[in-house]
Structure 1
């Protein structure tokens, strides 16, 4: 595989890792907000923003964790026939399904951009007592969909490399960078 593709895979995988690790720590923020809500409710001090903020943090958590989940292969897979396939058959099946995923993500990205544009133009807010702006969460959604698209392309490159007999493991990718530099 060309050095540029190996570099692309290495950088996208790295960004996905760091984004996913950051997302893992959002759970602590969400738990903190929910504990604050429970304590203040017990004291009969009602913070109307706590539950909505916890929902936004949860949304950020699963948006940001998507690319790392895909990179690590931790997503849900129906293994009825997949386990019986040869390694080459699995790679071809993965290429077909990930290509469908890429199409879906591009459509979602286009829709997300449209939704974000609408939110920015109208100053869209959630209709509630707290009335927060939806622009930050929609912007995060679009950014994370973009990262998912980049990670999907990275996975396609890895599968093509596997079919060509040049698997791109993390160590293999880094070693190739160092030997060609």
Structure 2
């Protein structure tokens, strides 16, 4: 059982490490879009797409970098008492709090899947069966949701990125849960 946990931790940490490192370069994409926005507004006709595209890139940067942040321990946490605790007590507390985070991420993931199904033209109440039907060919994509701006981009690409990011965050939280279990086991031995 503990070998399975260690294998899971290695696999998930490796994936999230690579994706997180790639997502870090999204800040340069964001800077390029905002630079183009400034140049086009100053010297040319203002671009309609720059503000929304900058928002989309920022969402992708943030949501795909989140699992990496948790893995590296660079996420924000209240260190008023936590910093003085022993490794065992930290692991016990983290074990409890990560369970709440996993529940919260499951709710967010369900909402993201529902929202993405809606953006693909599905108005029912079973979004997972809709995606299953897309794979098997029993469902079809309806009228796709578009933003209400002048540019009117489709919303499904950024919502799909949100699903991916939340799923990776959920996997990373399970990895952190396993790390806490292994820490407690090592402390007990």
Q: For the aligned residues, what is the CA RMSD?
A: 1.2
Dislocated runs of 4+, deviation >6 Å: none
Corresponding residue of 2:119: 119
Q: Deviations over 1:25-82 (max 9, x none)?
A: 0111110111111111111321110111011100100010010001011111011221
The Cα shift of 1:6 comes to 1.5
The residue correspondences of 1:97-112 to structure 2 (distance < 5 A) are 97-112=97-112
1:132 and 2:153 correspond = yes
The Cα shift of 1:15 comes to 0.7
The Cα shift of 1:83 comes to 1.9
Corresponding residue of 2:136: none
Corresponding residue of 2:127: none
The residue correspondences of 1:1-150 to structure 2 (distance < 5 A) are 2-121=2-121, 122-150=143-171
CA pair 2-92 structure 1, distance change in 2 beyond 3 A: closer
How many Å separate the matches in 2 of 1:86 and 1:62?
31
Corresponding residue of 1:170: none
Corresponding residue of 1:173: none
How many Å separate the matches in 1 of 2:119 and 2:51?
22
How many Å separate the matches in 1 of 2:45 and 2:20?
34
Corresponding residue of 1:161: 182
How many Å separate the matches in 1 of 2:91 and 2:182?
10
How many Å separate the matches in 1 of 2:4 and 2:83?
33
How many Å separate the matches in 2 of 1:2 and 1:27?
38
How many Å separate the matches in 2 of 1:4 and 1:88?
22
How many Å separate the matches in 1 of 2:154 and 2:97?
36
Partner of 2:91, secondary structure, is: helix
Instruction: Count matched residues.
Output: 166
Partner of 1:164, secondary structure, is: helix
TM-score, normalised via structure 1 length: 0.88
* Gap regions ≥5 residues in structure 2: 122-142
Q: Which moved more, 1:152-161 or 1:84-93?
A: 84-93
Are the counterparts in 1 of residues 2 and 182 from structure 2 also a CA contact under 8 Å? Answer: no
The Cα shift of 1:89 comes to 0.7
